[in-house]
Chains A and B, each alone.
Chain A
């Protein structure tokens, strides 16, 4: 007896109940009831997906439900993977949304549509005929559009984003409609089973047209360049719980569509399909992360990072198509497994990041990274959770993103075994794109975390920030737990991934061996043990602590680590009073170079405050303050006393109360 059918039935019932609750209940009780029902939809989806990944299959035909065509649903392991990911994200986002939507977003329309949107996210991968799939796809598009414009009365940018989203998503729908209609017409049937059977008899031109149109349609949904324009506009403007869903479960459907159409329905194709997909993915990955690195809007940065990650998924899918066309099914299965694992990992960390960004927005009312700062002492849990998500996003161990990028790189590096000049050209370029995007992702997320959360507040709003309500923290905690699990024990997913890859028709003979806490590639030499890396890192730290703790100064007196001034022993730099030179502040610098051309390397973003010579000397600490006082940039007149002429940029230690800390440097990030 399959567990899928009751789970999907429960999801549908809960979605109906949630919509009803959103319409009927009073505003006070609405967020909690709707959130609980939506979380139930997600949990049911997760159960169905996990059952499908465990090897169960289910299909149903309801010929009377939809006129002329009927409704056909089927769940195999590939659908199961996407249903499970959607379900998991929905649970976390729904719990988070209870706290998030309580103020200002508890309106009837938004609350009633949220369960419906969640339900379509679970059901789209189960659609098994052209008309069913398109119906669910369009329901998803319409409900998400209504959620994007939820705050349209507050900001004009929401309206603009809504128009962009509506136009782009329907251009995609037109392409998809054309592709599937052409496919169904030539294959002689509109159920997926009929398409699969008829795909072999199509002419290469028709197959190519269908694939390119489907790639355009699904690629635009996945945020692929140049059809990504809606993504960085719509995702930041939607409410954060909806952004988390859109940026994970919804864009994943684009990847699902490409895999389902390219591998399962069309059964693979010539080499140029793979090349086109890899090129699309590589360009998207690099473009997305470059945009993310320069973005100052926190949610826009995350949206562009979504575009990048889906680009990486497309690289994996394209490489699989390429290897499949080259006749190496084992490598194709490996590349596809890497892409699917990245879908899962990306969903976990990106949902967490969007929820954390939403918490920041909730607490400060701003998304501008340059106007934040200093959130770590004020929102410690949110900062820690954002850091967990960022560790996944920068694809470094022990984060979860590293595991899937490692698999993807392994697939591409071993891919040179597939003969052919095109492969030999494409793979190095693809690897370079992945590597560049990984490097830039590190820069982007160091900026987001370091500038957005660390240091001192740079605006009054950031100064007043406080920690989020418990339901929001709980939702983020669920995501963080998923990230940790995926990062440390990816081997547990190996069997499910194998089944999902097998469902595409690619021959997968246990390409990845899980178990014993590591991932091992069978047939190729490659092994990764994320848990051991994490354990080794954790084990290497304490000896260093011990080494420091044994230092005589610490043994003598267990002083508080964070620095208050120590009266009997002023820090070395200021142990002697600065000499009474015209510019005492530069006395700390050992150079006596002539005035620098400071115009090319200003430390300040804003025009600096010019201080007179006496004020400058007054700011220099002589012993009351210590080197532990945070520095702030300042400019002092040149040593020769010419006011304003060729100033030397010097760094003076000023006391934190002398001026608002954000008055001098708007952002340390240059």
Chain B
């Protein structure tokens, strides 16, 4: 029982809880600015929460304990996960219990509670949202567990503290193709799990296109505040997890107070940066049709499997699999061509094409072109890939 460890858990729970609405505000603000709007400022989610907490609670008739307790379960699971994940320090009183499988399962428990609440309302949209959410969740869980598998092989354990401290002491373990694939898989899962584009549109107002929002249509007042806080907490803690697993620098493995303070500052910076990048990416994405979501998530699973295959020295098997992925991609392209080509269905209002739109677009294209011409910064990575694939 070290004092710093206890302080680290308390500090990271406090920081994530307080920071989650700010992160949501930051992401909305980034989107607003990129879309050419002024935006409400990053404090808006906190103001929303305060307002909703003051409102009178209204509960739909005919609903039962599942509906009432779902917001609590959602927030409770998110808080427990926040306490477990080594965001600031790997030496905490709970680090022995910080099992990655437990973290995945607790997040899934929150999803299940919310889906049951959606069904409990008995509305068509609640049921539809629950069914869609469970479809997505059924694919998220395997992808997450495959990432767990990929990450825990080098550490020899599924304990998060072991994985993170192993990566801190041996950063080379991250710069492998396998580590990269696991990171991409985890990112795709983060997007799906937290209901962001292109899986779900968090700011949609059309019930028919909702996934997450359709389940919580009947919530209002303090319950809605808890649900929004829960969703923000999940997003923050998943981004924090991503940062801890793939950029573990700064996370303290000792017991110093200065290191802990630095770790907390770095945590805030990393999560804010990741959130901004995610929000900026969302500007350029449309929500994909629900039936396409499995393809996105299956893609993430495939990455994780390919990673495991390479680790086992099975280059040829992965090659065959990847050729099949290529065929699937060709089919997907053929389909999406129909979306892009041909006359528009009706006279649509033209979109204003300002600097805030074309600048990021141009930057992205330039980055793609640069990577297409030279792979200098990735040469080591590719060499590592070749050496693993060839042995």
A contact set with B: CB distance below 8 Å = 293, 373-374, 376-377, 394-397, 402, 406, 409-410, 413-414, 416-417, 421, 424-425, 428-429, 431-432, 434-436, 438-440, 442-443, 446-447, 449-451, 454-456, 518, 524-529, 532-533, 536-538, 540-541, 544-545, 547-548, 551-554, 559, 561-564, 566, 569, 571, 589-591, 593-594, 596, 598, 601, 603-604, 626-633, 649, 651, 656, 661, 664-665, 667-670
Contacts and interface: CB of A to CB of B under 8 A. Distances in A.
Interface stretch (B124-132, B243-251, B369-377): B124-132
A515 to B, nearest CB: 15
B208 interface: yes
A541 B56 CA distance: 20
B97 A563 contact: no
Contacts of A566: 56, 58
Nearest to B107: A396
Contacts of B109: 396-397
B122 A440 contact: no
B123 A435 contact: no
Nearest to B159: A525
Contact of A670 (B96, B131, B139, B305): B131
B314 interface: yes
Given A527-B97, A541-B76, 19 more contacts: A410-B101, A413-B158, A432-B145, A432-B305, A435-B143, A439-B141, A442-B111, A449-B116, A456-B122, A525-B159, A532-B97, A544-B72, A547-B53, A551-B221, A571-B220, A603-B208, A667-B127, A668-B131, A670-B127
A466 to B, nearest CB: 17
A607 to B, nearest CB: 14
A431 B147 CA distance: 11
A544 B138 contact: no
Contact of B149 (A431, A454, A554, A598): A431
Contact of B120 (A432, A436, A454): A454
A593 B119 contact: no
Contacts of A601: 208
Given A455-B62, A561-B59, A590-B205, A450 B312 contact: no
Contacts of A630: 60-62, 121-123
B188 to A, nearest CB: 15
Contact of B125 (A538, A590, A591, A651): A651
Contacts of A396: 105-106, 108-109, 112
Interface in B289-341: 301, 305, 308-309, 311-314, 317
B75 A596 contact: no
Nearest to A518: B97
A402 B109 CA distance: 11
A664 B127 CA distance: 14
Contacts of A293: 138
Contacts of B312: 421, 424-425, 428
Contacts of B158: 409-410, 413, 526
A253 B140 CA distance: 34
Nearest to B307: A428
B309 A533 contact: no
A165 to B, nearest CB: 31
Interface of B: 53-64, 66, 68-69, 71-73, 75-77, 79-80, 83, 96-97, 99, 101-102, 105-106, 108-109, 111-112, 115-116, 118-128, 130-132, 134-135, 137-146, 148-149, 152-153, 156-159, 162, 205-208, 218, 220-223, 225-226, 301, 305, 308-309, 311-314, 317, 346
Contacts of A451: 119, 127
Contact of A436 (B105, B115, B142, B308): B142
A439 B137 contact: yes
B278 to A, nearest CB: 23
A562 B68 CA distance: 10
Chain A CB within 10 A, most for which of B73, B130, B137, B313: B130
Contacts of A443: 134-135, 137-138
B383 to A, nearest CB: 22
8 contacts: A409-B101, A410-B158, A455-B120, A544-B71, A571-B58, A633-B123, A656-B61, A668-B127
A184 B145 CA distance: 44
Given A413-B158, A450-B120, A591 B205 contact: yes
B13 to A, nearest CB: 10
Nearest to B128: A670
A668 B301 CA distance: 29
A551 B51 CA distance: 10
Nearest to B79: A540
Nearest to B126: A668
B53 A649 contact: no
Contact of A446 (B57, B58, B101, B112): B112
B317 A562 contact: no
A628 B222 contact: no
B60 A455 contact: no
Nearest to A648: B208
A498 B164 CA distance: 32
Nearest to A650: B207
Contacts of A594: 346
Given A525-B159, A544-B76, A632-B123, A432 B146 contact: yes
B79 A442 contact: no
Nearest to A598: B208
B119 A596 contact: no
B213 to A, nearest CB: 13
Nearest to B82: A540
Contacts of A553: 54-57, 221
B382 to A, nearest CB: 23
A417 B68 CA distance: 46
A425 B320 CA distance: 14
Contact of A548 (B77, B124, B222): B222
Nearest to A551: B53
A477 B191 CA distance: 41
A631 B124 contact: yes
A450 B116 contact: yes
A432 B58 contact: no
Contact of B314 (A416, A424, A562): A424
A402 B112 CA distance: 14
From B57, B58, B311, B314, name the one whose CB has the most chain A CB atoms within 10 angstroms. B58
Contacts of A665: 124, 127
Given A455-B119, A651-B123, A563 B72 contact: no
Nearest to A443: B134
Contacts of B111: 442
Contacts of B61: 562-564, 628-630, 656
Contact of A394 (B112, B132, B314): B112
